[in-house]
Amino acid sequence: MRIVWVRGSETINFNRPNVYFVLGVRGSGKSSLLEHIAEAYLAEDHKILDLFASRDGESLAWLRSSHAKDKKILLIHGDNVSVDCSFVAKNISKVSLNDFSNYDIVISSSPLYSSHDDEFFHVNRIIDLLYKRLSWKQLIYMIVRESANLYYSRLRISDNQLAAKAESTYLIREGRHVGLSLGLDTLKYTSVDIDVRSVLDYLIIEKPRCARLSK
């Protein structure tokens, strides 16, 4: 399946390392839209890194999607967690750049870590690996549900808040140079730093779903 989106007279090129920013209220379908963009990149034979999700493990939905039948999926888990399933699982300390070439969808999901804090600390290993990706043939589309999570994770290893902000902003601004496309969402537009907002390729506003109340 080939997915083509059109904005006015412009066709979005899913062979480019774009930055997509989805704004909407809770429950408006932001995560679903980020995943839909991911499917567009998969259709162009690129890779997916689902890096941040809610504690209930919404990113694990890939495992029951149609892509689980024809795509290679890797689950990344924390040091103190064991995973027993039909999919390949790997300790985060053993993840390498080759894994992003060998697998189509790489998932680092919150339930696969002993705590939220443990997740925020260890996913920095993945981010640091991506900084070293100096040559590539396929893009990596990275999903960051609630963009502030990127800042919180860098804060776990940074000396101060200013350094954490600078590092997370740098990744978003310079990701294209390491073949990285990003899909981020947030509930509040102004909660994202202006340095980040200034480098967005696409701002997508999700309207809230309407509910019908019966008497």
For the chain, give the percent of residues with pLDDT over 70: 80
Residue 9: the pLDDT is 55
| In a domain? residue 111 | yes
Q: Residue 119 — very low, low, confident or very high, per pLDDT cuts 50/70/90? A: confident
The CB-side HSE value for 22 (13 A sphere, CA atoms) comes to 24
Alpha carbon distance 193, 170 (integer Å)? 12
Q: Residue 49 — very low, low, confident or very high, per pLDDT cuts 50/70/90? A: very high
Beta-sheet pairing, 73-77 with 105-108: parallel
Alpha carbon distance 188, 176 (integer Å)? 25
Residue written as tokens 């992003």?
A: 100
**What residues make up the domain containing 84?**
6-206
Closest CA to 188 of 161, 148, 153, 149: 148
Average pLDDT score over residue span 185-189 = 72
Q: Residue 134 — very low, low, confident or very high, per pLDDT cuts 50/70/90? A: confident
Residue 102: the pLDDT is 95
For the chain, give the percent of residues with pLDDT over 90: 33
Q: Residue 22: which CATH number? A: 3.40.50.300
| In a domain? residue 130 | yes
| In a domain? residue 211 | no
| In a domain? residue 214 | no
Alpha carbon distance 185, 29 (integer Å)? 10
| In a domain? residue 103 | yes
Check: CB of residue 66 under 8 Å from CB of residue 105.
no
Average pLDDT score over residue span 143-172 = 74
Residue written as tokens 């027993």?
A: 84
Beta-sheet pairing, 10-11 with 140-144: unpaired
Length of the chain: 215
| In a domain? residue 213 | no
Q: Residue 8 — very low, low, confident or very high, per pLDDT cuts 50/70/90? A: low
| In a domain? residue 166 | yes
Residue written as tokens 């909660």?
A: 191
Number of domains in the chain: 1
Looking at every residue in the chain, the average pLDDT score rounds to: 82
Residue 2: the pLDDT is 44
Alpha carbon distance 154, 157 (integer Å)? 6
Residue 24: the pLDDT is 67
| In a domain? residue 212 | no
